Amino acid sequence: MSKKKILIIQPIHEAGIKLLTDNSNYEYEILENLEAQDIKSKISNCDAISIRTAKLSGELINCSKNLKIISRHGVGYDNIDLAASKEKNITLAITATANAIAVAEHVLFMLLNIAKRKSMYDDSVKSGNFSNRNKLPKTIEIWNKNILIAGFGRIGQCLIKRCKGFEMNVFVYDPFVSKEVVESLGGKKVENLEDSIKNMDAVSLHVPLNDKTKNLINYNLLGTMKKNCIIINAARGGVINEIDLDRALNENLIFGAGLDVFEKEPPDQNNPLLKNKKVFLSPHTAAFTEECMVRMGKETIQNIIDFFEKKLDKSKTIKL
Ligand SMILES: NC(=O)c1ccc[n+]([C@@H]2O[C@H](COP(=O)([O-])OP(=O)(O)OC[C@H]3O[C@@H](n4cnc5c(N)ncnc54)[C@H](O)[C@@H]3O)[C@@H](O)[C@H]2O)c1
């Protein structure tokens, strides 16, 4: 058979590349330049694409002639035009088993950083103000506190185990997951987001970004939350309205927020959240552990190989 051409849009871990160099059925090209015209010039002849966060518009997809599979390096696929992919009968795969643990750990990292006022305490010692320790605002515990996990898929189900390790009371909002599944992992299913969020000390978002979840967390809802509540978004920017969040933090409606994702990435320098001391930020790197990058690099390529060998597991594909 002639070699399949794989276009890798944005570099991936070498462990993934090795799967291709070890296999004589494939040739590949790595595209580091992400301008639409650069992708356009390469997309027409490739049989498969591995893609990270670059945008793959319908216009670009329609320029492809042989494209059979788009393999996301990650699990969110809001950067891919689904209608165009469906129209051209292209399979969409995700690295379904690779990144849940890394993201769940990152949520705990953010939650504890905010609760323990990491920046303030760290700065205090480093700037020679150790003796200020009694004057600093107190930190808070997460033990015995209520956390709401909104979206109980791969990441939400990894997070609950870690929250239980800290003896938190875990509530789950996900209309598509049964009470039995939630309870089997030690959580309590809630039916109504607005009613339950009022009683939470922490909220962590793990829903996909779509028309129903855009601005799910807005000023009105933030206004009903407890003043000590910490909210974490490691799902997708846009699930929390950023202007509303900044306002709610400035009005002390909640304690703090952790954001790994932004409505616009990278965020504009004049985004007020970049200067808000009550926010803990990371640059969409929740899944960037050494271990996870290896797993994602391998899985995105293995999904392509499995597809052409007609053994790609359905659980790794998205129904279009
Ligand atoms: N920060 C990062 O680097 C990073 C890494 C991986 C995933 N993500 C994002 O995390 C999110 C979750 O990923 P996952 O792998 O757990 O996905 P998943 O598909 O396994 O789980 C998503 C869950 O959300 C639920 N859901 C859908 N719509 C909902 C709604 N309106 N209200 C409540 N629940 C709803 C679904 O039933 C599902 O159980 C996605 O948005 C993904 O893009 C971010």
Q: For atom 41 of ligand 1, which residue has the closest CA?
A: 208
What's the average model confidence in pLDDT over 170-191? 98
**Shared-domain flag, residues 276 and 141:** yes
Report which DSSP code applies to 2: P
- Give the DSSP H or E segment for 281: strand 279-281
Q: For atom 25 of ligand 1, which residue has the closest CA?
A: 151
**Shared-domain flag, residues 236 and 196:** yes
Which domain, by its residues, includes 170? 100-281
Residue 234 binned pLDDT confidence (cut-offs 50, 70, 90): very high
- Residue 191: how many other CB atoms lie within 10 Å: 9
pLDDT confidence of residue 176: 98
Per-residue pLDDT at 34 exceeds 90: no
- 236, 242, 263, 299: the active-site residue: 236
Per-residue pLDDT at 286 exceeds 80: yes
Whether 265 is a known active-site residue: answer yes
> If you measure from the C-alpha of residue 317 to the centroid of ligand 1, how many angstroms do you get, rounded to a whole number?
15
Per-residue pLDDT at 1 exceeds 80: no
What's the average model confidence in pLDDT over 184-203? 98
Residue whose entry in the numeric block shows the structure tokens 């974490």: 232
| Whether the Cβ atoms of residue 315 and residue 34 lie closer than 8 Å to each other | no
Q: Which residues neighbour 218 within 8 Å (Cβ) at sequence distance 6 or greater?
A: 241, 244
Q: What is the pLDDT of residues 105-143, one digit of tens each?
A: 999 999 999 999 999 999 999 999 999 999 999 999 999
Crossing angle (nearest 10°) for helices 118-126 and 100-115: 60
Residue 225 identity: M
What's the average model confidence in pLDDT over 171-189? 98
* CA nearest to 295, candidates 123, 152, 97: 97
**Shared-domain flag, residues 258 and 153:** yes
| pTM of the full structure | 0.94
User: How far, in Å, CA of 264 to CA of 283, rounded?
Assistant: 11
> If you measure from the C-alpha of residue 34 to the centroid of ligand 1, how many angstroms do you get, rounded to a whole number?
25
**Shared-domain flag, residues 19 and 60:** yes
Whether 295 is a known active-site residue: answer no
**Shared-domain flag, residues 14 and 153:** no
Cis peptide before 283 (omega within 30 of 0): no
Per-residue pLDDT at 146 exceeds 90: yes
Q: For atom 28 of ligand 1, which residue has the closest CA?
A: 207
**Shared-domain flag, residues 183 and 262:** yes
What's the average model confidence in pLDDT over 192-203? 98
CATH label of the domain that carries residue 296: 3.40.50.720
Whether 247 is a known active-site residue: answer no
What's the average model confidence in pLDDT over 65-75? 97
On the CB side of 313, CA atoms within 13 Å amount to 9
**Shared-domain flag, residues 17 and 66:** yes
**Shared-domain flag, residues 41 and 140:** no
**Shared-domain flag, residues 146 and 53:** no
Residue-wise over 22-55: b if at least 16 C-beta within 10 A, else e? Answer: eeeebebeebeeeeeeebeebbeebbbbbbbebe
Per-residue pLDDT at 82 exceeds 80: yes
Residue 261 binned pLDDT confidence (cut-offs 50, 70, 90): very high
What's the average model confidence in pLDDT over 69-77? 96
**Shared-domain flag, residues 93 and 111:** no
User: How far, in Å, CA of 233 to CA of 273, rounded?
Assistant: 13
**Shared-domain flag, residues 187 and 233:** yes
**Shared-domain flag, residues 150 and 214:** yes
Work out the mean pLDDT of the chain and round it to a whole number: 97
> If you measure from the C-alpha of residue 182 to the centroid of ligand 1, how many angstroms do you get, rounded to a whole number?
15
- The per-type count for the chain, helices as H runs and strands as E runs, is 12, 12
Query: Is the torsion defined by CA of 209, 210, 212, 218 positive or negative?
Result: positive
Residue 2 identity: S
User: How far, in Å, CA of 214 to CA of 263, rounded?
Assistant: 10
pLDDT confidence of residue 35: 86
Instruction: At 70, list the tokens.
Output: 């788009």
User: How far, in Å, CA of 108 to CA of 129, rounded?
Assistant: 28
Residue whose entry in the numeric block shows the structure tokens 């997951």: 177
Residue 37 binned pLDDT confidence (cut-offs 50, 70, 90): confident
Residue 33 binned pLDDT confidence (cut-offs 50, 70, 90): confident
Beta bridge partners of 259: 233, 281
Instruction: At 152, list the tokens.
Output: 């109980």
The total number of structural domains that make up the chain: 2
φ, ψ (nearest 5 deg) of residue 32? -95, -25
